[in-house]
Structure 1
Amino acid sequence: MQVPIAGHRRIAVLSLKGGVGKTTTSVLLGSLMASQRESRVVAVDVNRDMGTLRDRVPLQTGLTVRDLFRDAASIRGFTELRGYVSANEERMHALVGDQVFGFREVEGRNGYGVVADVLERYYDIVLNDCGTGMGNPGMQRVLDLADQVVVVLEPASDAVRAAEATFDWLGRNGYADLVSGAIVVISKVDRRSASSPDIDTLEARFSGTVRAAVRIPFDEHLAWGRVIRFQELHESTRNACSHLALLSVEGLANMQRSGV
């Protein structure tokens, strides 16, 4: 986890299907990166509709990504930027979306670029908590700038099809490099299915296409949809999240050594 990552990196957390755990994954991954590394990490709600990042972190401001976009030109330092973000106990910051407009008013290619430019000046790692749409201009800009994608699915047939469609879309639209370095997160794996050959088959389905797959077990604390507090997670959940964070960091470091 302590492997150095020079420069600024962006991760997009994706799925064409809603409700599979993208926001939860964003917070879990970002929190571990922030707490176990000396890195400034921020999760950003780039869902064009009403995202749920604001429900998973303790809110400390009423300002949103829409406000940051509006005020970007006036931000001269981290102290000013700090007023737009909230922070959890693991030191991960969160830039939440507007409750009414979501990311829609910021989603143009230049709009996201403005936000990304501000965050690049003050953060080492940005996790983009994405919506289900892939073709809108804002999402395309997110992917243009992404160094890594994390695709989230549940062990259910419709979620698996959505994940496959996500990779297919990426491959057909010029993002094949993101597919080969991607991490698949199989979320909400319950006790009965944890050792099921169906999960092994599911992992094998993506083997050779992506870099790795990680199982995140079902956890009652996560299922409530409230603020995520790591001390209330099961040990197995914390271990799985640590494994995910390690894979993500190693992937970013390998890109760096390859000169990407």
Structure 2
Amino acid sequence: MVAEAGDPRLQLRRETTTETPESPARHGWRGWCNQTLGLSLAASAAERASRARRVRIQRPLETHRTVAVLQLKGGGGKTTTAYHLAATAGRVRGGNILAGEFNENQGTLAERSLAGGHDRTTLDLIRNLDTVTRRTADLVRYVRPQGDDRIHVLASPPEGTDRTRVDGRSVRAAHETLRSLYSLILLDTGNSAQSSTWRAAVDVADSLVLVAHNREDDARLLEATVAAVAAEGHGGKLARSVLVVSNTATNNTERLTRLREYAEAVGLAGTVVIPFDKSLQEGRAFHYDALHPATVRAYEEATATLIDQL
């Protein structure tokens, strides 16, 4: 069945709120008083800050945008970050948003996101790109809708699959098709700056998200990632890029300060720290509603900071 523009399988739009930071309170005891007693109490500072973040996230984009999520390490938090930035955008702004794996390694996106009723992957899409046009719904055979997160996932093939066709050229070709169907794409990249898929992802990206845990080895890898981006001739993109630091249970504040200072020194647009959250530990299935409220606020700030650059 052919799907035209507006088909709900591809169009995940939602009505955006007309609420402003100055609107009366809707949450907490002030919101209760307003709704129950017909009052018009002002929103709390926390509610106003939340609204301001959401307004930033909902800012219209003039055209399609692609973001590559980078760190030169497996298990470094790229998949978690890519998914939750996409999910935050999906929940707050709606629209056509994709979190996709395009790399040389087996990823965990398929395992940690909702199943899609099929096991087709990035490789299947690449093999059948000639059947996917800008006006058909053929893409729904490859992506996996993520329920209330209002995004699609495109996962990499499992280990043991012939990956010879997942290379830089195929990534560019797939991206060219996908960018015509999605307003925002977050690319979960691989672990090697020497890989043609990594280079292609950085090349097609309009902005970058650099990922690090609050660990010493991740701090060193951050420097290597920045150097690799510059070596590929994309140093100019760093000014439109964001550092997302996932905090650990030990919370080394001195290291966090160093990470922030380094990001500022190399010209990144901003740094956002995601609090330690047990629901985000490596290997667990993604469940946005299980996130601690502080984690949700941090992802909203990270997403808002990213949208500010697009």
Flag whether TM exceeds 0.5 (same fold).
yes
* Correspondence for 1:207: 264
TM-score calculated relative to the size of structure 2: 0.77
Counterparts of 1:168 and 1:79 in 2: how far apart (Å)? 40
> 54, 67, 82: which one pairs with 2:124?
67
Deviations 1:232-259 (A, max 9, x none): 110111010000000011110xxxxxxx
Counterparts of 2:97 and 2:306 in 1: how far apart (Å)? 13
The Cα shift of 1:204 comes to 1.3
Is residue 2:265 matched to residue 1:197? no
> 60, 69, 72: which one pairs with 1:13?
69
SS at match of 1:189: coil
Cα gap change, 1:6/1:222 in structure 2, threshold over 3 Å: closer, same or farther? same
TM-score calculated relative to the size of structure 1: 0.91
> 83, 94, 110: which one pairs with 2:169?
110
Deviations 1:81-125 (A, max 9, x none): 112111212111000010025794333332112211221121001
Counterparts of 1:171 and 1:53 in 2: how far apart (Å)? 28
Higher mean C-alpha displacement, 47-56 vs 24-33: 47-56
Counterparts of 1:139 and 1:205 in 2: how far apart (Å)? 23
Counterparts of 2:92 and 2:165 in 1: how far apart (Å)? 32
* Correspondence for 1:181: 240
Counterparts of 1:14 and 1:224 in 2: how far apart (Å)? 17
Kindly report the root-mean-square deviation, in angstroms, between the aligned alpha carbons of the 2 structures. Answer: 1.7
| Percent identity between the two aligned chains | 27
Higher mean C-alpha displacement, 114-123 vs 94-103: 94-103
Amino acid paired to 1:215: V
SS at match of 1:94: strand
Deviations 1:196-222 (A, max 9, x none): 233223211221321111101111111
Residues 69 and 188, structure 2, Cα contact 8 Å, conserved in 1: yes
Residues 57 and 87, structure 1, Cα contact 8 Å, conserved in 2: no
Counterparts of 2:93 and 2:265 in 1: how far apart (Å)? 30
* Correspondence for 2:89: 33
Counterparts of 2:67 and 2:232 in 1: how far apart (Å)? 18
Amino acid paired to 1:161: R
> 73, 76, 86: which one pairs with 2:144?
86
Residues 46 and 102, structure 1, Cα contact 8 Å, conserved in 2: no
Residues 49 and 103, structure 1, Cα contact 8 Å, conserved in 2: no
Residues 86 and 97, structure 2, Cα contact 8 Å, conserved in 1: yes
> 4, 15, 23: which one pairs with 2:79?
23
| Larger radius of gyration between Structure 1 and Structure 2 | 2
Gaps of 5+ in 2: 1-56
* Correspondence for 2:289: 231
Is residue 2:308 matched to residue 1:250? yes
Alignment of 1:38-53 (within 5 A): 38-53=94-109
SS at match of 2:295: helix
Cα gap change, 1:106/1:244 in structure 2, threshold over 3 Å: closer, same or farther? farther
* Correspondence for 1:221: 279
Cα gap change, 1:102/1:16 in structure 2, threshold over 3 Å: closer, same or farther? farther
Deviations 1:28-50 (A, max 9, x none): 00001111113211011112111
* Correspondence for 1:170: 229
Residues 123 and 163, structure 2, Cα contact 8 Å, conserved in 1: no
The Cα shift of 1:149 comes to 0.7
Counterparts of 2:291 and 2:162 in 1: how far apart (Å)? 30
The Cα shift of 1:226 comes to 2.5
Deviations 1:148-171 (A, max 9, x none): 111111111111111101101111
SS at match of 1:144: helix
Amino acid paired to 1:202: L
Runs of 4+ in 1 over 3 A off after TM superposition: 101-104
Counterparts of 1:2 and 1:42 in 2: how far apart (Å)? 16
Deviations 1:33-90 (A, max 9, x none): 1111132110111121111111221011211000001111112345211121112121
Cα gap change, 1:151/1:102 in structure 2, threshold over 3 Å: closer, same or farther? farther
SS at match of 1:13: strand
* Greater relative CO, 1 or 2 (CA 8 Å, sep 6+): 1
